[in-house]
Amino acid sequence: MNKLIITAAICGAEVTKQHNPAVPYTVAEIGEEACRAFEAGASIIHLHVRTDDGIPTQCKNRFAECMDEIKRLCPGVIIQPSTGGAVGMTDEERMQPLDLSPEMATLDCGTVNFGGDEIFVNTETTIKIFSKKMFEIGIKPEVEVFDKGMIDTAVRLCKLGFILAPMHFNFVMGVNGGIAATTRDFAYLAGSIPTDATFTVSGIGRAQFPMAVLGIVSGGHVRVGFEDNIYLSKGVLAESNGKLVEKTVRLARELGRDIATPNEAREILGLGK
């Protein structure tokens, strides 16, 4: 089987230090958490940034500072900024990190209820504007899907030339409002993407490691990190993103899957082609 790409979603936009004191806010904290994840085996850092007091921001300068710090501490790691940002941000706000020409960025392919009354809005026009900009700059989108119809949207936009094939998907499973984190639904998503596509899976909350195992054994890839889950095991807060990556590496090794370096991940994902 091909090597396993581990993405670390170290920060997110929703989780706070009240949930887990190790959630990073400052540039230094974000650099340190990225480094712990990288040293444990992550080849991609999925990046959201915060102000020093923890407010999510898509400010280009803040992204630039955090990306420089991550590059300094984690040589060669792939940095994948979020264009999802936080619920309620405008498209202009969300798109700012694309101006830094990262190798990858997320492309959220549909609107979804995001817990309670929150709505994460991604209209077709938004998706087209974001994907066109990524296409023009040469940024590989990671297509974020929170439900199966979002795969169909991405496939349609790929046929229309907005997204380049082969596509890379992230199945986000277990958001309240999105697809459930079940084995059946995982098989449904994995069986619905084009045959030349790659995918990673992000299980939310207690589904993080069960979904990681499905990603490992199916030949897919895995995302872990505080953005999706703050616990190492039931009732035990993870000390760092590195601990979540270490556990994923242990599971992968037990199941006979080797871990991809950043350059191996670039090869698997066709980055820079």
Q: Which is nearer to Zn ion, 49 or 257 (CB)?
A: 49
Q: Which is nearer to Zn ion, 82 or 241 (CB)?
A: 82
Look at the block and give the residue holding tokens 């009354």: 117
Q: Are 157 and 163 spatial neighbours (Cβ–Cβ below 8 Å)?
A: yes
Binder of ligand KMH out of 114, 130, 186, 226 (CB under 6 A):
114
Q: Closest approach of Cβ 88 to ligand KMH, in Å? A: 9
Helix H or strand E encompassing 68: helix 60-73
Burial class (CB in 10 A: 0-12, 13-18, 19+), 236: exposed
User: What letter would DSSP give residue 87?
Assistant: T
Q: Closest approach of Cβ 201 to ligand KMH, in Å? A: 14
Q: Which is nearer to ligand KMH, 14 or 65 (CB)?
A: 14
- What is the rounded CA–CA span in Å between residue 204 and residue 112? 15
Segment 79 to 98, residues that bind Zn ion, using CB under 5 A:
82
Question: What DSSP line would sit under 182-218, residue for residue?
Answer: -HHHHHHHHTTS-TT-EEEEEE-GGGHHHHHHHHHHH
* Binding residues with ligand KMH: total (CB under 6 A): 12
Binder of ligand KMH out of 43, 58, 106, 111 (CB under 6 A):
106
Q: Which is nearer to ligand KMH, 144 or 185 (CB)?
A: 144
Binder of ligand KMH out of 11, 13, 251, 271 (CB under 6 A):
13
Q: Which is nearer to ligand KMH, 114 or 162 (CB)?
A: 114
Q: Are 133 and 141 spatial neighbours (Cβ–Cβ below 8 Å)?
A: no
User: What letter would DSSP give residue 13?
Assistant: S
Piece of the chain touching ligand KMH by CB under 6 A; list 106-114, 183-191, 204-212, 256-264: 106-114
Residues forming contacts to ligand KMH in the complex (CB under 6 A) are 13-14, 82-84, 86-87, 106, 108, 114, 120, 144
